Structure 1
């Protein structure tokens, strides 16, 4: 229930009715909102905090919670139906009283429990009838013959729901007659209430728990449709949502550091770099003639300012993103794409980009262009949160458009110190959701049992979260005060290759129609090195290979032992079946100044990869023909380093 309410809250005003209907089915949350009304439209942060702080039953406690909840909902449904049928009490008040009749069962862990659960309802009804209905719900019906109708209806509903033979008893029939109801009609209303409770149980994942609490004579057939989440699925949903909410909160704090529109976009660039690895981006916005033209809010290549894209150009991803208000992808050499998109990619020096509409502080809606974004990025909640928080940070701020200036090459570069400070603040905030995600991976690991395949995959996720944390922490390392050398560990090269392939199969290789083969020599010994460095190099080479094979192809990873100049070395080969590299590109392959991604593998990633391999005392080389490109990494079996060696892990396999 909490998971569903959080999802609806994240959808915004369009889901207000669904949110209200969902929370209305929880005794504690419903009464909290009744006692302290919260405006859905203006206090969503408070609602989110209320939901995230809600206690969640698990394990054996969930069975007991299901019994209480089934009784709460059953009495509430029936009390509301009786009030409507008899017309002697307010139906909404009957629902609230029925829902809260066993409120004391939910408050046994309250820090300061009231003398009686009914005391919680005094503020809702100045005459006290709601509180009386809860206080006296279990009293014998004969004692309530002359009581307020709301009290009598809740008493009667409680008897009908909790006693299997209640319809046939004398006291219940007398109470029904006082409301001008017959036993047959009451039985029908009771059956309807139980069915509605069953449907809600299925919706909120309490079907299995309820099966143990409903008396055998009243148990309906349980529909185990896959549309109804299981209790385990509910906890997995909560884990994802808690992590997502933590990320959104961190991003909210990150963008609130801005003191002007220009700084918002600086913070956006920091977020794109830290969270998605996006180094190159630009922003287009409608000009006076309606065409989309580059703005100076995000510095980019000066040549982009010569472009003006008509808003009705259906082939270009930029106008489509603006018209559809949805992310649009572009990949170089797409035969159906607009030429101008290819020119933008060339000037940004990227092979693909994603376009996203973004509301600006002057009332216009611009288009953010983010280069080298992985396929499917626009569907990730983290991407949506980032752009939403950026747009919200822009809203109250006056737009400070810089005056036309010299070409971008002539503009002074930002101070490294300022940039490092901003990145440091961003990384401080990013570290919080990373920690929460790692904790929830551990939680899921405990809940999902000893399945070796599941535990192995969760271990990879946990390792990758920690690797991201180490990378972003490393961004803030001051060069002149370099941190101590990282400890080396004995790493299985074969395990790193296998882990990389498994991790990237569904996110990088399969979506791009790339078949992967691994040929691993079992005699390759563990090497003393930093595992993160090798993994980063292999991922860069794999990503470049995928980009080179535009229409799919074959990628092969090979490990072998070789002798080079009398020294034993481990060789790792990454070979693709792409079109190969032009000779002019190959001669400058590892130089960042000549980067023409798209039909080749060149780019900044290769410069970084070679430097990382050299840090491992190895060598990275490339050979390319029209039949494909082969990258070869050679690493010594013994490394010359002053860093300490640990022997506690041998990879994740």
Structure 2
């Protein structure tokens, strides 16, 4: 097809489509932010259209910079957040104005672009090419023409549009040549710059992803990426597939409507973040007004944590009277106390009145409402909780989107000064009594634990190291040590009680936990299938946190599985999209799957219907502990069961 002289300028203005899930996540990440987070930088690198926007912003800030020398995610994080917000809002608005015709086709093409990016970076690492992030982008942008919109299906117009955008970047890189020479015969590319050879070798190997037979490498790949062999290609391809599946599960297949919702939420986040500086609780008041006017959640009460007495105390905001409420979080089952403890919104409705505290029920009925939500305010002291009341339908939005409302609460408390309240004799006495009570309890609990440990040592000495129960005695001893560490942490502040890293054999840890829990699953008639990959690298991490993660997931899986059901525990390793080695822990149950209404807020703490004081905090804790270990958790669920996947950095 020949283009007339006006075609390039028309093509320049053609927007590119972004994956709705990545774009929605990025809107959520940038909303209200005063800097570009590591997560936001990562998201820019997972979508061709968004990566192009990031490169344009880098080129404007640092014209002529050599791309191969950059750690591009760090470079994105250094950019002006306002600039990136404007670019992302504009992209979202364009995509809402003219939605993508086929989300299924977009999803397939997005996966193909990730495959080429992963493969290019893997080839670059094997060939010692220094620009690993540049290589990733080169592979990703091979697919940029397929993301061009309003082309009428004309691939020549789409390619011209993409080529024009890459050519005008003004960066020191061969990156634009990936499209210019995309169809060039392989023998003519043998002497080309390494970036071009590696990207096109990867592109030709992955252009039909996922339909590919590992035993049949593309001949152009063998030529352009020499001296690579068939085994190398197969290994890269298999690792690539697992990495993409993990990313796709994390991002999710979101409809375009999710972009509109996140754009609206971003507007609210920006509104809350821009609260009046001269009013210390302006952000809290703005949040309360926003929830009342936009979501029908009114009757707001603001409770602020008194650092001296340790109680949540009512505070007047926005002309509202000071509520006559004081809550001691220690031992409290109120929604406010749970929100303060977990730093995540908690929703209580009259449907779970049996598990709700009396105070929550009183506040619900006082407002003639159907439920109450507690939103934690502030990320650092002074912290507090905002209580709002309304219908079940309105409250369901908070339960379904806990991360958004957590972020709103953090921003609302950002400008609150850390004023020191008047130190009265009563508040000082209350705090001192609380501290003394905790220390006394810790001391008293440590005494019987120490006695039990001593008897375990005596038993082991009498039975000998070869006794059939020697391993069980060792596990009991380790668990007692862990209990002591937890109790000791209660008497320290958060900065003093830092994590202790130790070299951990994840396979051995899992085998121990299977032994510890055997009475639970054997009594139920269940059985556990353990499949541990040999030779896994040992992790330098907080062993107690890792043990708590696996134990929670294992107990949840046993609880979800029917009588005589099966639970699978697996470990493995993969290379992620950054070519970092990750260790995987996979826990699968044979239960009925997670109900649809719970999927979107699976990791938020909610009132459980199990009774017996069960607070529904297990998965919320698992997620926070996983993130503390710099890992990620994903899940998939269906009628045949649920699978959780934990990915942790091996180094």
Give the structure-2-normalised TM-score. Answer: 0.44
**TM score, norm. by length of structure 1:** 0.44
Higher relative contact order (CA 8 A, sep 6+): 2
